[in-house]
Amino acid sequence: MGASEASMAYANPLGVLTGVHYLDGDHSAAEGACAAGCRFFAGYPITPSTEVAERVALRFPLIGGQFIQMEDELASIAAVLGASWGGLKSMTVTSGPGFSLMMENIGLGVMMEVPCVIVDVQRGGPSTGLPTLPAQADMMQARWGSHGDYEIIALSPNSPQECFDLTIEAFNLSERWRLPVLIMTDECIGHMTEKVVIPPADRIELVERRFTKETPDKYLPYKPCEDLVPELAPLGKGYRFHTTGLTHDERGYPVMTAEMQEINVHRLVDKIRKNADKIVHVEKKNLDDADIVVVSYGISSRVAIPAVEKARSEGLKVGELRLIIVWPFPEKEIRSLAGKVKAFVVPEINYGQMVYEVERCAAGKCRTMLVPHGGGWVHDPETIYRAIREAAK
Amino acid sequence: MTVTERQSCQTPAEPEHPKSLLLRMDRMPHIWCSRCGIGIALGCFAAALERAGLSPDDITVTSGIGCTGRAAGYVKVDSFHTTHGRAIPFAVGLTMARPDLKHVVFSGDGDLISIGGNHFIHAARRNQNLLVICVNNFTYAMTGGQLAPTTPVNARATTAPYGSFERPFNLPYLAASAGASYVARWTSLHIRRVTDSITEALQREGFRFIEIIAPCSTIYARRNKLGDGLDLMKYYYESAVIDHEARLQDLDIGFQSRIVVGKFVDEERPSYVRSMNEHFGKVLGGKYVRPVTGDVAGSSGAGGAK
């Protein structure tokens, strides 16, 4: 099998509410799903993500989609995987406790290579924590939460507009790389209402599902193309394929050996690692002559803005690197900046998660300073400002 | 025998397996022990597909984890070997995305009724369009014979070394109470009845449940000193009573007790997707767009016709 170039299609106008809207992040993510061609949604109510499900329940019967409220999050993610195999773009949404429950089948999605999207509207934890208040404390769970070795893709919108835009990007990435893609938003973004511009359908490009062109007798469900991604087969068309969560060969048949583990799992990891340059998505601001770089994502990137502006107005050379895609982590960007700057300042609503990735890639070449927040609210920009001043010393 | 001798032996050509069209012969031999009842259940399923006039391209099979959970790996159809307990919700996604196909969940008692119990009752309540075949061997066989929610009182398991004192589930009663539209129970001795039942259920709509009691000779029977597979077949022969009219609440199975078998529920009720279409059609009228199905969806989600 050669290189299978992802082909593109335009959005179906039926699902696209073209125009200027005043939406919260949760509703905007739901509109992003409608526009992206998502036509199956299975979910379970959990604050602060429920509004996504509510909006989908309202919209789907009008656009040819199916919404089902499942009995729990275990069932929700399982149904999403099944529906995706059935040929529908599929999504679920949850928050901390539900995200924990979904972990096993996110691993199944990785192993079976199922395109789908999972939105985690983060709230304070551990356990039931702070159901109605924000946090960014599931970032490492997003990366490592399911057992075993794997790579994942996770995005982090910082506005209702990005909840729309990045939901479409998440679906495109999931189809392109054949894996579950996570959208790591938070209560603050989810419940923040802002202007959201939804473009015309013919301005929204979607990645087509990669169905094989091989005939059933030649098709191998897990034979990778050059980009390490195998092609899907439609159901009921004579392919009669098998897929399993067990370690498997190119036929999809279980093979329980160290050799097959190496072939199977190494490819799953390499599929993302070796293609990371094509996936990484960051926003850069004032990096050219920066001494200090604020590395942030999601709501914290917005809270950092007044802190950066104040420091710059006082003559400090502060740049910003915003992670729009948090996983895979933009290692190259951090490594190259580390040799040039004095310090990274990392504000996040947890006691240290993404900061360890920054520190790892900085590799001692510059300081890395965490600006922690336990959750329940966002940082006071003043704390970030003080950290920038401290870093400049 | 020397190598030369062996080479000189003319082995007759292997006869083709009668169900080779429906089985992945490249995966044989299977992992099941000799005298295990799962193969019988799978054989009946293959026979029923033929009898129902279905092509392998008309159905999918989804399994969870366990001995019976391996069934999906041996049937030559689009087949899904999922996680422990989640075969039903996975298949719910399949059946909603591809209502044009028939979707079968083939798994064991521990998988479907213990770890997957919540999904079982909710899929039955919603009358999801699934045929659920549950091979009940009274134990967790793959992990070595632990206590199951179906283990009869006084039967021994590795995690109930002094015998079980828990009341097991009465599966037909559970399925019927939760809303299943078709409920039957047979043993793996009742090959013709099992095949008839699966054939019939394949042509029904909604949540259909068939329990097939099957011997686990290596684990359950040995620990409980019940003899081998043939002895268990004799037990079924002597203790199984066909009673289609039996009261569902009377279908409990005690240790080596009478086993009441039969078809207990066969009702025509609309499946989840049919109810959804009828409801939205009524409430939303012309605004309702019938669901796009996975065979035509494409990337844009196009294909929905009013």
Contact B93 A61 (CB under 8 A): no
Residue A74 lies in a domain: yes
Residues of chain B numbered 31-90 and touching chain A (CB < 8 Å): 56-58, 60, 62, 72-73, 76-83, 85-86, 88-90
Angle formed by the axes of helices A50-63 and B272-284, to 10°? Answer: 80
- Listing DSSP states for A45-66 in one string gives --TTTHHHHHHHHHHHHHHT-E
pLDDT string in tens for chain B (306-residue length): 444 444 445 556 667 777 778 999 999 999 999 999 999 999 999 999 999 999 999 999 999 999 999 999 999 999 999 999 999 999 999 999 999 999 999 999 999 999 999 999 999 999 999 999 999 999 999 999 999 999 999 999 999 999 999 999 999 999 999 999 999 999 999 999 999 999 999 999 999 999 999 999 999 999 999 998 889 999 999 999 999 999 999 999 999 999 999 999 999 999 999 999 999 999 999 999 999 999 988 888 875 433
A190 with A53, same domain: the answer is: yes
Interface size between A and B, measured as CB pairs under 8 A: 211
Q: Which two tokens stand for residue A221?
A: 């469900």
Residue B15, C-beta contacts closer than 8 angstroms, at least 6 positions apart = none
Q: What's residue B46's pLDDT?
A: 95
Look up the domain containing A85 and give its range: 10-207
Interface test with B, best of A114, A204, A235 (most B CBs within 10 A): A235
Q: What's residue A223's pLDDT?
A: 98
Q: Which of A189, A207, A225 is the last residue of a domain?
A: A207
**CB crowding A130-149: b at 16 or more within 10 Å, else e:** beebbbbbbbebbbebbeee
Q: Which two tokens stand for residue B182?
A: 């078709």
Residue A164 lies in a domain: yes
The helix (H) or strand (E) run that includes residue A197 is strand A193-198
Find the mean pLDDT for residues A213-240: 97
Q: Where do the H-state alpha helices sit in chain A?
A: 25-36, 50-63, 73-85, 96-112, 139-144, 160-177, 187-190, 258-273, 276-279, 298-313, 331-338, 354-362, 381-392
Q: What kind of architecture, by CATH, is found in domain B18-269?
A: 3-Layer(aba) Sandwich (3.40)
A143 near A325, Cβ under 8 Å? no
Residue A343, C-beta contacts closer than 8 angstroms, at least 6 positions apart = A291, A292, A293, A366, A367, A368, A369, A391, A392
- Structural Rg of chain A based on CA atoms: 21
Residue A242 lies in a domain: no
Closest residue in A to B273 (Cα) is A66
A118 with A22, same domain: the answer is: yes
**Gap from B269 CA to chain A (nearest CA, Å):** 19
Within 10 A of B161 (CB to CB), how many other CB atoms are there? 9
Residues of chain A numbered 321-380 and touching chain B (CB < 8 Å): none
Contact A89 B297 (CB under 8 A): yes
Domain count for chain A? 2
Residues in chain B: 306
Alpha carbon B266 to its chain centroid, in Å, reads: 17
A286 with A159, same domain: the answer is: no
A295 with A197, same domain: the answer is: no
Residue A55 lies in a domain: yes
A159 with A72, same domain: the answer is: yes
Find the mean pLDDT for residues A312-327: 98
**Gap from B109 CA to chain A (nearest CA, Å):** 18
CATH number for position A337: 3.40.50.920
* Mean pLDDT value across chain A: 97
Backbone angles phi, psi at A197, to 5 degrees: -100, 120
Q: Which of A207, A239, A262 is the last residue of a domain?
A: A207
Amino acid letter for position A36: A
pTM of the entire predicted model = 0.96
Q: What's residue B252's pLDDT?
A: 98
Rounded CA gap, A81 and A95, in Å? 19
User: Residue A142 above 90 pLDDT?
Assistant: yes
Tens of pLDDT, residues B181-235? 999 999 999 999 999 999 999 999 999 999 999 999 999 999 999 998 889 999 9
Q: Which two tokens stand for residue B46?
A: 């293959």
Q: Which two tokens stand for residue A196?
A: 């959201």
User: Residue A195 above 50 pLDDT?
Assistant: yes
Tens of pLDDT, residues A27-78? 999 999 999 999 999 999 999 999 999 999 999 999 999 999 999 999 999 9
Amino acid letter for position A56: V
Tens of pLDDT, residues A65-109? 999 999 999 999 999 999 999 999 999 999 999 999 999 999 999
Cα angle B108, B111, B114 (rounded to 5 degrees) comes to 120
Contact A81 B82 (CB under 8 A): yes
CATH number for position A150: 3.40.50.970
Indicate where chain B has its CATH 3.40.50.970 domain(s). Answer: 18-269
Rounded CA gap, A279 and A267, in Å? 16
A21 with A155, same domain: the answer is: yes
Cα angle B266, B271, B275 (rounded to 5 degrees) comes to 135
Rounded CA gap, A220 and B18, in Å? 26
Residue A228 lies in a domain: no
Amino acid letter for position B152: P
Amino acid letter for position A135: A
Closest residue in A to B87 (Cα) is A78
- Listing DSSP states for A269-297 in one string gives HHHHHTTHHHH--EEEES-TT-SEEEEE-
A245 near A222, Cβ under 8 Å? no
